[in-house]
Amino acid sequence: MLPQEAIRAKRDGRALPAATIRELVEGIGDGGLSDAQVGALAMAIYLQGMDAAETVALTEAIRDSGEVLDWSDLDLPGPVLDKHSTGGVGDLVSLVLGPWVAACGGHVPMISGRGLGHTGGTLDKLEAIPGYSVTPDTATFRRLVKDVGVAIIGQTGRLAPTDRRLYAVRDVTATVESLPLIVSSILGKKLACGLDALVMDVKVGSGAFMPTAEASRELASTIAEVASQAGTSTTALLTDMSQPLAPCAGNAVEVREALAVLTGERRDGRLLTVTRTLAAEMLLAGGLAADRDAAQARLDERLASGAAAERFARMVAGLGGPSDLLEAADRHLPTAPVVREVRAERAGHLRRMDTRALGLAVVELGGGRRAPDDPVDPAVGLTGIAALGDRLAAGQPLATVHARSEDDAERAERQLLAAVELGETPAPAPTLIQDIIRREAP
C-alpha cells in the first residue's frame, strides 16, 4: 500500500494490516517516508488509536527494525530477564535489582535511558561513577552479561533504530501521549534484547509519567498484553509514585543509596520493598524459584551474603569504573559544595507531596537537563526527604539540598517548601504495590 493511502486509512479510523505496518516502519527507518508523512501517521494513530493486533504488529516491526540480540551461542546457565520502569523521582531500582537478580542466577542485559523531564535517568546515575562507560563494545557487553550476570548500558545504534526517528517526530508534533505509540516504543527496544521474560514497573501518583491512575493501569495492562502476544511473557506492576521512592533524588546521592541497600546498611524502606517485589517476579518469570516465598527467601539470602553487592562491583569495574567503589564510595563519588537543610515552617503531618515538583527542583539544580545536550551535574540533589505520614515539629528537616551555589540552594528550598502540605491529621498512607498483572506468551 502506498504510504499516503495507509495514512489515509488510519486517519479515517480503519485498522491497518500487519504487512502494511511493517512497510511503514521500514519506510520510517530507511527514509522512504518523509518527516511530513511520519508526522501525519503519528497524528492519525494519536487521533484514531490502534487495536490490539495493530499495536502488536507495530511493536514487532520496531523490535525487528534493527538487531535483535541472540544469547543462544553463549550457553547461558540461566534465563535472560529484564525490568523497565516508566520513571519517577528517587527511582534507583535498576541499580539494585540488576545485580540482585544476577546473584540469583538470572542474566540481565539492561538497556537504560537518561533522565526525561522530571524523572531521573539510570544512565545519568551510573555516569556519576568515575570511568563508568554506558557505551561499551558489544563483546564487553556480552561478556559481562555471561560472566557477571548483569550489564546496565545505553541503547546501541543497532537496537530498534526506527524508534529514534519516530520518537523525534512525535516529540515535535504533539503526538507523544498516544498509548499504542508509547507501548510500541517501550517494548520495541526492550524486546530487541532477546528476553525470556520482562517485568514492568508502571508508576501511579504525582510523580508518575501517566497523568491519572486510570491511565497508568491501562498502560500496564496494554504493555503486558502486547509484550506477551509478541512472544515475551510479561508481568506489569502498578507501584506508588506519590512521593520519591528513595529518600533522595539526584545522581551521585542515588548511587550512594543503592550501595547502602546492596551492602545491608539500609534494611527497610519503600525502595527495598519495591525492588524485592520486582526481583521476585523476575525470578518467578524466569523459573528460578517455584513460588513467591522461595523467590523472596533466595533474594534475601543473596543480599545478606553480599553476593548482590559483589555483582554490582564487578559490573562497575568491568565497565571502566573503580574496582573499590563499595569500599571507598566517598572517595570516588562527587559531592556538592553547598549543603543546606530545608526545615518545616510549622508542625504537622506530611499529608501531600508534589513529587513532580521535587524532580524538577533537582533538574534546576543541574541534576537533569532542560535541553537534550545539557550537561548533568552528578553531585547535586536532595537527601533525607521526609516521607508522607511523618509527623514533623516546626524547624525539623524536610530534606537536605545539595547544590552548586547558595542561590541554587535557596531556590530549591523554596520549591521544596511549596511542594509539600502539612496538616493537623495524617493522610492515609498510599498503597505501595497497587496491582500485579501477569501475561504468559502463547
Tens-digit pLDDT profile for residues 17-64: 999 999 999 999 999 999 999 999 999 999 999 999 999 999 999 999
Residue listed under C-alpha cell 556519576: 128
Candidates 202, 188, 201, 224; CA nearest to 441 is: 224
Residue of 10, 22, 63, 83 marked catalytic:
83
Fold of 334-423: Aldehyde Oxidoreductase; domain 3 (3.90.1170)
Residues of the chain with CATH 3.90.1170.30: 334-423
Residue 390 annotated among the catalytic residues of the structure: no
Domain covering 72-328+433-439 assigned CATH 3.40.309.10 in the classification: no
Residues of the chain with CATH 3.40.1030.10: 72-328+433-439
What's the rounded Cα separation, in Å, for the pair 329 and 306? 16
Residue of 10, 107, 125, 189 marked catalytic:
189
What pLDDT is recorded for position 369?
82
What pLDDT is recorded for position 118?
81
Residue of 170, 276, 302, 356 marked catalytic:
170
Residue of 125, 164, 190, 276 marked catalytic:
190
Residue of 175, 185, 216, 275 marked catalytic:
185
What pLDDT is recorded for position 348?
97
What pLDDT is recorded for position 243?
97
Residue 8 annotated among the catalytic residues of the structure: no
Residue 10 annotated among the catalytic residues of the structure: no
Decide: 250 and 262 in contact? Cβ < 8 Å.
Answer: no
Question: For the chain, which ranges sit under pLDDT 70?
Answer: 116, 372
What's the rounded Cα separation, in Å, for the pair 168 and 175? 10
User: Which of the four CATH numbers 3.30.200.20, 3.40.720.10, 1.10.260.40, 1.20.970.10 does domain 3-49 have?
Assistant: 1.20.970.10
Residue 85 annotated among the catalytic residues of the structure: yes
Residues of the chain with CATH 1.20.970.10: 3-49
- Within 8 A by CB and 6+ apart from 379, the residues are 128, 250, 251, 252, 334, 335, 336, 402, 404
Decide: 140 and 134 in contact? Cβ < 8 Å.
Answer: no
Residue of 55, 59, 65, 85 marked catalytic:
85
Residue 83 annotated among the catalytic residues of the structure: yes
Residue of 10, 22, 84, 114 marked catalytic:
84
Residue listed under C-alpha cell 553463549: 74
Per the DSSP assignment, residues forming a β-bridge with 116 are 119
